[in-house]
Amino acid sequence: MNWKWLIAKRFLTKEQQSKSRSVVLLAVLSVSASILVMNISMATLFGFQNEIERKVKRIQGDFIIDAGNNIENGEPNPIENKLVNQFLDSFGAQPWKNQVKQIIPSTSKACVLKSQDEIEGVLVKTIPTNQIEEYLRGFTQEQSKIHDTVSWIAIGRDLASKLKLKLNDKLTVVFFLNDQNDTRPRARKLIVKNIFETGIDKIDQEIAFINPNILIPFTPPNFKFTQIEIWLNTNQESPKVRRSILSILPAGDLRLNTLEEFNRVIFDWLAILETNVAIILTLMSLVAIATMSTTLLVLVIEKTSFVGLMRSMGARNNSIRMVFIYQSLIVAVVGLLLGNLLAMIIIGLQNHFHWISLDQNVYFIKYVYMELSPWHYLLVNLGALVVIFFSLFIPSRYVSKINTIKAIQFK
C-alpha cells in the first residue's frame, strides 16, 4: 500500500461525520437483514426437503426395485423368485456391498380394510415382524407386543381414526384374487398392533404394514415379492451406487427407481419451493446492491473535498474509486457477519424450541425444520460479496465527474 492509500485510510477513519455514520449504520443493518433473510430462506428450504425425504426414506429406502411392467398408481406386479435370488446373489459378490445398509424384499397388495362401521381401500406391505419397530422408528407410535404367530397389522393414525379403530382392535382385510378371469374376494381377520403417524398422507392414509405370513396364500409360489427396497449407509454417493446396482440388475424384467422417482408427486411439489427461494434470494440481492450503491454515493458526496485533495496530490480517478469501493466492502462485510450471526441464532432457537409450527395435514411436518451447512453459508456470503463488489463499480464512476477545484473548496 503506497502513501496515497495510507492518507486515504487515515482521512476516512478519523473524519467521519455524523450523517455518513448514520448512512453506514443503515447500510450495515440493510445488508445484515438481506443476508439474514437469504440464510433463513435456504435453511427453511433445505430443512423442509431433508425432513420429508428422511420420512419417506425410512419407509421405502433410497432405491426401489420393482417389476418393469408396473403401471403408476396401480397394484404392483409380482417379481419372479429367480430374478430376486439372482439379484441378491450378484449383490453379495460386489465389492461395493458395504455401502448398502440393508436390503429387504417385500410384497405389496391392494386390499380393503373393513371395521365395524367403515371401509377404506389401502395398499398393504409386508414387513418382517422382528423389524417393524425399527422400520417405524422416529415416528409417533402406539404399539403393543408383536410376535410372528400373531396376524398383526400396523396402520396410520388418520386411517385408524377413519375406521374408528384403537390398539388391539380387530378388523377385516379383504383381498381380491384373479383366477381364470374371475375375481374372488378373500377375507382375513387381523389385530391392530401398531398405530403410527408419519405426517405424510400418502403413507398414513394409503399404506398399512402386515405380517408377511398373511400374504403367502395370496401370492403364486414362484412370485413371492413385488419390490426390493435398498437403504444406503449415511453419506454414500447415490449416483455411484445407482450405476453399480444397474450393472447387476436383470435387464428388461426389473427397473430401478430412486426415492424421488418412486414418489414423483411429493418431490415435484418440493422442487416448486426452490423457485420461491430463488425469487427471495434475487430480491434480497437487489436490496443489498441498492443499499450499498446508495451508501457509496453518499460517502463520495460527503468526501468531495477528500476527492479534490487526493487529485491535487496526483492520485488517479481509479485509485480514488477503489478507496470508496473498499470502504463500502468493509461495511458490507460487517453486515454479512451480523446477518450470519443472527441467522445462526434464529435457526438454533427454532430447531430447539419449535416456535414456528405448521399444519401437518398440508406440509407433512409439525413445525419448521431449518438446516444450513457451513458450505451453504459460504456460498451465500461469497456470492453476495462478489455481486456487491462488482455492482459498486457503477456508482463509483461518479468520482470522475467531480471537478477538482470545486471539490477542494467543497464544505
Q: Helix/strand/coil (H, E, C) string of 105-167? A: EECEEEEEEECCCCEEEEEEEECCHHHHHHHCCCCEEEECCCCCCCCEEEEEHHHHHHHCCCC
Query: What is the predicted pLDDT for the residue at 27?
Result: 82
Reported as type and span, the H/E element at residue 258 is: strand 254-258
pLDDT exceeding 90 applies to what percent of the chain? Answer: 17
Cell numbers standing for residue 56? 419417506
Query: What is the predicted pLDDT for the residue at 241?
Result: 87
How much is the average pLDDT of 53-78?
Answer: 84
Res. 63 pLDDT band, cuts 50 70 90: very high
How many Å apart are CA 206 and CA 188, to the nearest integer?
19
How many Å apart are CA 143 and CA 190, to the nearest integer?
15
Residue 7 has pLDDT above 60, yes or no: no
- Whether the CB-CB separation of 227 and 66 falls below 8 Å is answered with yes
What pLDDT, in 10s, does the model give residues 273-322? 888 888 888 888 888 888 877 777 776 666 666 666 666 666 666 776 77
Q: What is the DSSP letter of 233?
A: P
- Whether the CB-CB separation of 105 and 91 falls below 8 Å is answered with no
How much is the average pLDDT of 96-105?
Answer: 88
Query: What is the predicted pLDDT for the residue at 385?
Result: 87
Res. 54 pLDDT band, cuts 50 70 90: confident
What residues contact 316, with CB distance under 8 A and at least 6 apart? none
pLDDT exceeding 70 applies to what percent of the chain? Answer: 83
More confident residue, 324 or 13: 324
Helix (H, G, I), strand (E, B) or coil at 50: helix
What pLDDT, in 10s, does the model give residues 122-179? 999 998 888 887 788 778 778 888 887 888 999 998 899 999 999 989 999 998 877 6
Query: What is the predicted pLDDT for the residue at 314?
Result: 63
The rounded mean pLDDT for the chain is 81
Closest CA relative to residue 57, chosen from 119, 151, 137: 137
How many Å apart are CA 148 and CA 157, to the nearest integer?
23
- Whether the CB-CB separation of 189 and 170 falls below 8 Å is answered with yes
Phi, psi of 70 (to 5 degrees): -65, 145
Residue 13 has pLDDT above 50, yes or no: no
How many Å apart are CA 356 and CA 48, to the nearest integer?
13
More confident residue, 324 or 173: 173
Query: What is the predicted pLDDT for the residue at 155?
Result: 92
Query: What is the predicted pLDDT for the residue at 14?
Result: 46
Query: What is the predicted pLDDT for the residue at 326?
Result: 82
Query: What is the predicted pLDDT for the residue at 154?
Result: 92
What residues contact 155, with CB distance under 8 A and at least 6 apart? 113, 122, 163, 165, 192, 194, 195, 196, 208, 209
Note every long-range contact of 386-393, with CB atoms under 8 Å and residues 24 or more positions apart, other chains counting: 387/285, 387/288, 387/289, 388/31, 388/288, 388/289, 388/292, 388/328, 388/329, 388/332, 389/325, 389/329, 391/289, 391/292, 391/293, 392/292, 392/293, 392/296, 392/324, 392/325, 392/328, 392/329, 393/321, 393/325
Note every long-range contact of 137-140, with CB atoms under 8 Å and residues 24 or more positions apart, other chains counting: 137/58, 138/54, 138/58, 139/55, 139/58, 139/196, 139/197, 139/198, 140/196, 140/197
Cell numbers standing for residue 85? 435370488
Q: What is the DSSP letter of 76?
A: P
Query: What is the predicted pLDDT for the residue at 56?
Result: 85
Residue 15 has pLDDT above 90, yes or no: no
Residue 17 has pLDDT above 60, yes or no: no
What pLDDT, in 10s, does the model give residues 222-276? 888 999 999 998 777 778 888 888 888 877 778 898 888 888 888 888 888 888 8
Query: What is the predicted pLDDT for the residue at 312?
Result: 61
Query: What is the predicted pLDDT for the residue at 124?
Result: 92
How much is the average pLDDT of 70-81?
Answer: 81
How much is the average pLDDT of 202-218?
Answer: 88
Residue 199 has pLDDT above 90, yes or no: no
Query: What is the predicted pLDDT for the residue at 269?
Result: 82
Res. 354 pLDDT band, cuts 50 70 90: confident
Res. 216 pLDDT band, cuts 50 70 90: confident
More confident residue, 67 or 301: 67
Helix (H, G, I), strand (E, B) or coil at 193: strand
How many Å apart are CA 25 and CA 35, to the nearest integer?
16
How many Å apart are CA 77 and CA 108, to the nearest integer?
9
Report the chain's C-alpha Rg in angstroms.
32
How many Å apart are CA 221 and CA 226, to the nearest integer?
13
How many Å apart are CA 378 and CA 356, to the nearest integer?
26
Distance (Å) of CA 182 to CA 70, 176, 177, 238, 324: 21, 10, 8, 43, 84
- Whether the CB-CB separation of 256 and 238 falls below 8 Å is answered with no
More confident residue, 2 or 155: 155
What pLDDT, in 10s, does the model give residues 369-410? 899 888 888 988 898 888 888 887 777 666 555 555 554 454
